[in-house]
């Protein structure tokens, strides 16, 4: 049988034999990228993201599945004076067919990641998260009864709910911040039977998020001129760029990459700062001074990643350079205005990150960075939480244990080994 895809190191250009790897075996500081044998995008007869099974690195869909919804809003288009504004929504809003019950586009990543791991031999993914990613994996675990290990900062535990009980989740809360959660997750991922989920390095995660661009292009019959999104790690934006390259390869959707317009939330904007200085490296002293204090001030904390895949080959710097991209810093008041605008025009309670993205589009219109008739795709990456609370009974995921960062690793890895013996 001809394999469905290969993976290739973007930096070195070489094909990588072992498709389970997360980084280049030859040491290039680079993302690995999927190369699908089918250059034409055939639509599969499945729901949600699995309509795009051709360009997902799994053989079998994990059903039922939600997906991004592409739609338009006459009210918002009129308000912004844009004649070709397309919205993509990844969240919960049954009126338009949006059925992601975790409320964010992290669900687009979690589903193919879980499915791919099962197909590659059933390793248990270990995920460090500030909240939304952890919730997406917890929900998927509940839905398909497969074990996952999730590590989150203790103060994010209120975000770990699911719409059905999730007995296969090994949840660890950490007395510390997201970076501390990552440190603990690295220890747990070394336990036999577990693997690090990989974040931006995970091709299933990026290709799952790429379905936003695919769905918009299929709906409109073309690649948009401009793509707007709020970024924390930049993984979603890298995915949009990669999906657009595949669409150009298909030949039926145009031959121009969309220009990436990416937003962060002031006063924590490391990638905006580095990009505007023309630098591939993020310099903490210049690009994120007073990081802890400034992270505490933003309205959207999912946008506050301190170590994004920015400089790495195939990462966000390359994506911006290749697409002649722009970055935007959005202050909280502008985000709050955009939140109200979306509520009044589209009728959805947006995730704060999606409001930041909407605010960057408002900024681009005011500064004439885009033309009134340009084809624009605005990625609304999350929302609908009010409706989720109305329509579902939410189950809080209980932590198995809470750790401090100076605790010895043996204790917690021991608990995990025992848990795997019962659940693996
Ligand atoms: C994580 C997240 C983002 C940022 O996505 P990245 O891929 O990390 O850049 C934006 N919006 C929402 C709702 C998110 O959960």
Within 13 Å, how many C-alpha atoms sit on residue 48's CB side?
Answer: 22
The string of pLDDT tens digits covering residues 388-412 is 999 999 999 999 999 988 888 888 9
Contact yes or no for 31/309 (Cβ under 8 A)? yes
Distance 423 CA to ligand 1 centre (A): 30
pLDDT of residue 3: 87
pLDDT (average), residues 267-282: 98
Q: Distance from the CA of 262 to the center of ligand 1, in angstroms?
A: 11
234 lines ligand 1 (CB under 6 A): yes
Q: Looking at ligand 1, which atom is closest to the CA of residue 131?
A: 15
CA of 164 to the centre of ligand 1 (A): 24
Whether residues 225 and 308 share a domain: the answer is yes
Same domain, 234 and 333: yes
Could you give the angle at the alpha carbon of 241 between the alpha carbons of 239 and 246, nearest 5°? Answer: 95
Query: 421 CA to middle of ligand 1, Å?
Result: 34
3-state SS assignment for residue 281: coil
Is there a single domain that holds both residue 100 and residue 151? no
User: Taking Cα atoms as reference points, which of 311, 257, 296, 117 lies closest to residue 198?
Assistant: 117
Q: Which domain holds residue 284?
A: 69-104+205-387
Residue 152, token pair as written in the block: 């989150």
Residue % of the chain over a pLDDT of 70: 100
Q: Find the 231 Cα to ligand 1 centroid distance in Å.
A: 6
Q: Is 264 in the pocket of ligand 1 (CB under 6 A)?
A: no
Q: Is residue 37 part of a domain?
A: no
Pocket probe for ligand 1: among 382, 384, 388, the residue whose CB has the most ligand atoms within 8 Å is 382
Whole-number Å distance, alpha carbon 302 to ligand 1 midpoint, is 6
Examine the domain organization and report whether 410 and 285 are in the same domain: no
Is it true that the peptide bond before 267 is cis, omega within 30 degrees of 0?
yes
**419 within a domain of the structure (yes/no):** yes
Please state the rounded mean pLDDT for residues 90-117: 97
Distance 199 CA to ligand 1 centre (A): 12
Atom of ligand 1 nearest to the CA of 132: 15
Q: What is the per-residue DSSP string for 316-384? A: HHHHHHHTT-EEEEE-HHHHHHHHHHHHHHT---B-HHHHHHHHHHHHHHHTT-S-TTS-EEEEE-BB-
Q: What is the pLDDT of residues 283-328, one digit of tens each?
A: 999 999 999 999 999 999 899 999 999 999 999 999 999 999 999 9
Calpha distance 110→130 (Å, rounded) = 15
Q: Is the pLDDT of residue 336 over 70?
A: yes
Token pair in block for residue 124: 């248990």
Co-location of 281 and 308 in the same domain:
yes
Looking at the predicted structure, is the pLDDT value of residue 140 above 80? yes
Q: Are residues 412 and 312 in the same domain?
A: no
Q: What is the mean pLDDT of residues 228-236?
A: 97
Confidence bin at 177 (pLDDT 50/70/90): confident
**Atom in ligand 1 nearest the alpha carbon of residue 233:** 8
Tens-place pLDDT, residues 202-217? 999 999 999 999 999 9
The pLDDT of residue 358 is above 80? yes
Tell me the C-alpha distance between 358 and 88, whole Å. 12
For the chain, the domain total comes to 2
Q: Which ligand 1 atom is at minimum distance from the Cα of 104?
A: 13
Q: Is residue 7 part of a domain?
A: no
Tell me if 58 is assigned to some domain: no
Q: How far is the CA of 192 from the centre of ligand 1 (A)?
A: 30
Strands of 124-278 (E only): list them: 124-128, 148-153, 161-162, 169-175, 194-196, 226-230, 259-265
Tell me the C-alpha to C-alpha distance, in Å, between residue 413 and each of 121, 128, 419: 21, 15, 10
275 & 378 share domain? yes
Percent of the chain having pLDDT more than 90? 94
Mutate to test the pocket of ligand 1, among 90, 104, 210, 264 (most ligand atoms within 8 A of CB): 104
CA 354 to ligand 1 center in whole angstroms: 9
Residue 117 within a domain: no
- Lowest-pLDDT range of 218-222, 299-303, 331-335, 363-367: 299-303
Mutate to test the pocket of ligand 1, among 201, 233, 243, 342 (most ligand atoms within 8 A of CB): 233
Residue 30 lies in a domain: no
Q: Is the pLDDT of residue 365 over 70?
A: yes
In this structure, the answer to whether residues 223 and 365 fall within a common structural domain is yes
| CB 381 less than 6 A from any atom of ligand 1 | yes
Ranking 269-283, 390-404, 410-424 by mean pLDDT, the lowest is: 410-424
Please compute the mean of the pLDDT values over residues 112-125 and round it to a whole number.
Answer: 96
Expressed in angstroms and rounded, the spacing between residue 381 Cα and the centre of ligand 1 is 7
> Which mutation among 103, 229, 261, 302 tests ligand 1's pocket best, with the greatest number of atoms within 8 A of CB?
302
Domain of residue 267, CATH code? 3.40.50.1100
Please compute, for residue 51, the number of CA atoms within 13 A of its CA located in the half-sphere on the CB side: 16
**What's residue 1's pLDDT?**
66
Q: Is the CB of 129 under 6 A from ligand 1?
A: no
Q: Are residues 223 and 161 in the same domain?
A: no
* Average pLDDT in the chain: 96
For the Cβ of 382 lying below 6 angstroms from any atom of ligand 1, the answer is: yes
Q: Is it the case that residue 424 has pLDDT exceeding 80?
A: no
Q: Do both 156 and 283 map to the same domain?
A: no
Q: Is 287 in the pocket of ligand 1 (CB under 6 A)?
A: no
Residue at 270 is within a domain: yes
Cα–Cα distance, 373 to 361 (Å, whole number)? 14
Ligand 1: which of 208, 265, 328, 381 to mutate, most ligand atoms within 8 Å of CB? 381
Is the domain of 308 the same as that of 364? yes
Mean pLDDT, to the nearest integer, of 6-23?
96
- Whether 152 lines ligand 1, by a CB cut-off of 6 Å, is no
Nearest CA to ligand 1 atom 1: 302
Residue 405 lies in a domain: yes
Same domain flag for 88 and 167 = no
């Amino acid at each position: 049988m001809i394999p469905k895809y290969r993976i290739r190191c973007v930096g070195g250009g070489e094909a990588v034999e072992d498709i389970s790897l997360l980084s280049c075996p030859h040491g290039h500081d680079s993302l690995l990228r999927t190369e699908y044998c089918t250059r034409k995008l055939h639509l599969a007869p499945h729901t949600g993201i699995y309509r795009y099974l051709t360009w997902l690195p799994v053989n079998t869909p994990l059903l039922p599945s939600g997906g991004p919804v592409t739609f338009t809003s006459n009210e918002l288009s009129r308000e912004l004076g844009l004649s070709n504004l397309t919205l993509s929504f990844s969240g919960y809003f049954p009126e338009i067919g949006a059925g992601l019950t975790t409320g964010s586009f992290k669900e687009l990543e979690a589903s193919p990641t879980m499915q791919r791991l099962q197909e590659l031999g059933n390793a248990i993914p270990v995920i460090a998260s500030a909240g939304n990613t952890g919730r997406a994996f917890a929900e998927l675990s509940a839905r398909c009864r497969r074990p996952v290990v999730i590590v989150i900062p203790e103060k994010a535990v209120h975000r770990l709910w699911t719409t059905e009980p999730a007995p296969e989740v090994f949840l660890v809360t950490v007395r510390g911040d997201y970076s501390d959660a990552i440190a603990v997750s690295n220890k747990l991922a070394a336990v036999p039977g577990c693997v690090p989920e990989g974040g931006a390095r995970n091709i299933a995660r990026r290709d799952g998020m790429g379905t936003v661009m695919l769905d918009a292009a299929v709906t409109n019959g073309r690649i948009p001129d401009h793509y707007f999104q709020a970024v924390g790690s930049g993984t979603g934006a890298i995915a949009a760029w990669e999906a657009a390259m595949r669409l150009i390869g298909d030949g039926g959707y145009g031959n121009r990459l969309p220009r990436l317009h990416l937003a962060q939330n002031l006063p924590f904007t490391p990638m905006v700062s580095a990009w505007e200085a023309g630098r591939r490296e993020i310099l903490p002293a210049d690009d994120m001074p007073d990081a802890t204090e400034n992270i505490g001030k933003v309205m959207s904390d999912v946008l506050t990643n301190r170590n994004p895949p920015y400089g790495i080959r195939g990462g966000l710097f390359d994506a911006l350079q290749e697409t002649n991209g722009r970055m935007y810093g959005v202050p909280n008041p502008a985000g709050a205005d955009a939140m109200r605008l979306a509520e009044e025009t589209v009728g959805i309670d947006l995730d704060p990150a999606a409001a930041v993205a909407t605010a960057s589009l408002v900024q681009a219109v005011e500064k004439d960075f885009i033309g009134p008739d340009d084809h624009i795709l605005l990625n609304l990456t999350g929302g609908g939480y009010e409706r989720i609370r109305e329509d579902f009974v939410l189950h809080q995921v209980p932590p198995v244990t809470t750790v401090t960062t100076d605790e010895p690793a043996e204790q917690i890895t021991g608990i995990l080994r025992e848990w795997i013996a019962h659940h693996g």
